[in-house]
């Protein structure tokens, strides 16, 4: 759905139909998706260019859509490494196919982004964090997917505790001032 809202081509009819319904409920959704992607691109570019970050861990990455984190990071540093974390089978299959171009610098990890222990013990992330290089942990518009009872702040803290010194945490959150709209979209 996100790719469709961004004007991409890596989506399905069911995504397009769902977006039509979502846009009926919340007409600003496309603008939010575009702003969200612009934020992601801007923050990755900033961290890579201004702070020399070459290691990115994208929690809840979703289906790859352009520009991807690794594309933005590698524009600044061709040796940048990115691990995308998601547990949706379509995301995993699609991501691994699209990212097969250079398995030395990109990986798709099949994991629930709430499973910090499994993520940080994976070979992909151990390779990423080797040498105590700074890592940018990305939580871009995903924490709203975690119910309050699962304590999203505890997840953020657990990830921060495992990052090497000098690392960065990127968090963005979509919201609406309209409580009825929030409930309707959450239940959608």
Give pLDDT tens digits for 18-51.
Answer: 999 989 988 888 988 898 899 999 999 999 999 9
Distances 112 to 48, 58, 88, 128 between C-alpha atoms, Å: 26, 12, 9, 18
Comparing CA positions, the residue from 92, 74, 80, 174 lying closest to residue 135 is 80
User: What residues form DSSP beta bridges with 83?
Assistant: 57, 107
Asked if 81 contacts 44 with a C-beta cutoff of 8 angstroms, the reply is no
130-139 mean pLDDT: 91
CA–CA separation, 98 and 47 (whole Å)? 24
Q: Report the predicted TM-score, pTM, of the whole model to 2 decimal places.
A: 0.87
pLDDT-based confidence at 182, cuts 50/70/90?
Answer: low
Question: The domain 2-187: what is its CATH number?
Answer: 3.40.50.150
What pLDDT shows up at residue 32?
Answer: 86
Q: Does the pLDDT of residue 159 top 70, yes or no?
A: yes
Asked if 150 contacts 114 with a C-beta cutoff of 8 angstroms, the reply is yes
What pLDDT shows up at residue 1?
Answer: 84
86-107 mean pLDDT: 82
Provide, rounded to the nearest whole percent, the portion of the chain with pLDDT above 70: 93
Domain ranges for the chain, please list them.
Answer: 2-187
CA–CA separation, 40 and 68 (whole Å)? 9
């Amino acid at each position: 759905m996100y790719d469709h809202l961004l004007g991409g081509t890596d989506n399905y009819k069911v995504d397009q139909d769902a977006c039509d319904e979502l846009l009926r409920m919340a007409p600003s959704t496309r603008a939010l998706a575009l702003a969200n992607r612009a934020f992601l691109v801007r923050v990755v570019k900033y961290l890579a260019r201004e702070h020399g970050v070459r290691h990115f861990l994208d929690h809840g990455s979703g289906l790859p859509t352009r520009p991807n984190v690794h594309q933005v990071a590698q524009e600044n540093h061709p040796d940048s490494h990115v691990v995308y974390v998601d547990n949706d089978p379509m995301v995993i299959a699609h991501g691994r196919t699209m990212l097969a171009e250079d398995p030395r610098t990109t990986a798709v990890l099949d994991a629930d982004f709430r499973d910090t222990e499994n993520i940080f013990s994976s070979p992909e992330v151990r390779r990423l964090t080797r040498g105590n290089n700074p890592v940018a942990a990305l939580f871009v518009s995903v924490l709203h997917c975690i119910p309050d009872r699962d304590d999203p702040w505890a997840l953020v803290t657990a990830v921060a505790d495992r990052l090497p010194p000098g690392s960065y945490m990127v968090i963005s959150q979509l919201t609406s001032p309209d409580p009825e709209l929030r409930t309707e979209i959450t239940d959608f």
